[in-house]
Amino acid sequence: MELFLVPPTSCPDSTLPQPSDPPRSPWWTLCHLSHHGDQPKSPLPRSWPGQVSRFCQEMTKGKNYALPNASWGPDMLSLYHEFLEKTKTSGWVRVPSFRSNRDHIQGFKLPLDLSANSDKSDWRLFTRCIEREGQGYEYVIFFQPSEKKSICLFQPGPYLEGVPGFVHGGSLAALIDETFSKTAYLSGEGLLTVNFNIRFKNLIPLGSLAVLNVNVEKIEDQKMYLSCVTQSRDQQTVYAKASGTFLQMHLEKDSSRQ
């Protein structure tokens, strides 16, 4: 399977490497590809239904980690079913979650620099790195296409510990980044994190339920700006506030496979 990431027009962020930087930079290579015009371009964004349905298609093989398992507590389960109802009535979409991003975006091409190390099979999306149910990340993302927002239900297991008994700040940051990433891609092909900021307000007890509320704030100059408020289910405790910027790119179909 190959993937292809290409920015739509240019790479204007001054924080990104410029041509004087070392030429082995994948970022620089990505930007340079579009400047050279040696890869096909297409206008953004694509239509919602196609993009969302393509990404969110259920695979017949491979485990979908976004489905309930025996480790999910009553809070997680009841809110899950509440949002599942909204997929039937309010346009929400349950985002499937596979072992690797390779499973989500099959049949697309990746530049040479991004094809490195793709000869092995046991790769895992970081937030699905702990296989045993209930020990690590238990989460499911619901996406609302018309409002460009997501909800992520997160039940942290005991392998995500920082301060004894509580979630490691880094594990929350990683899940917010992952939820940003999926939301940015589904909302307008935002694909790679440019920057990420998080302010911690309260510690999350391991085993409890935290709810991530993600919004696309704006899309400008091929960049997407997202925000996230993480709080308890009853919204009485704010755990963290975060923001992130993603670079818009899109995946080109691998014509050699058609």
Kindly list the catalytic residues: 177
Q: Of these, 48, 55, 200, 225, which contacts a second copy (CB under 8 A)?
A: 200
Cα(199)–Cα(239) distance, integer angstroms: 9
Count of residues making up the chain: 258
Decide whether 82 or 131 has the Cβ nearer to a second copy: 131
Query: How far lies 69's CA from each of 126, 134, 154, 182, in Å?
Result: 19, 8, 13, 22
Q: Is 197 in the site for a second copy (CB under 8 A)?
A: yes
Binders of a second copy in range 29-48 (CB under 8 A)? none
Minimum CB distance to a second copy, residue 194 (Å): 6
Nearer to a second copy, 92 or 111 (CB): 111
Mapped onto helix, strand or coil, the DSSP state of residue 172 is helix
**Is the bond preceding residue 12 a cis peptide, omega within 30 degrees?**
no
How wide is the angle at C-alpha 175 spanned by C-alphas 171 and 177, nearest 5°? 115
In the block, residue with structure tokens 């999910």:
72
- C-alpha distances out from residue 79 to 74, 85, 120, Å: 9, 10, 37
Q: What type of residue sits at position 65?
A: Y
- Min separation Cβ 60 and a second copy, Å: 21
**194 contacts 160 by C-beta, under 8 angstroms:** no
Q: Does 254 bind a second copy (CB under 8 A)?
A: no
- Least Å distance, CB 16 to a second copy, is 7
Binding mask 3-32 for a second copy (x = CB under 8 A): x-x---------xxx----x-xxxxx----
Rule CB under 8 A: which of 85-124 touch a second copy?
100-102, 110, 114-118, 120, 122-124
Is there a contact between 226 and 45 (Cβ–Cβ < 8 Å)?
Answer: no
Q: How far is CA 92 from CA 122, 152, 158, 220, in A?
A: 32, 12, 30, 25
127 binds a second copy (CB under 8 A): yes
Nearer to a second copy, 48 or 159 (CB): 159
Q: How far apart are CA 228 and CA 155, in angstroms?
A: 17
Q: 51 vs 101, which CB is nearer to a second copy?
A: 101
Stretch that binds a second copy, among 34-42, 49-57, 82-90, 125-133 (CB under 8 A): 125-133
* Sites of contact with a second copy (CB under 8 A): 3, 5, 15-17, 22, 24-28, 100-102, 110, 114-118, 120, 122-127, 129-130, 135-136, 158-171, 173-178, 181, 191-203, 205-207, 236-237
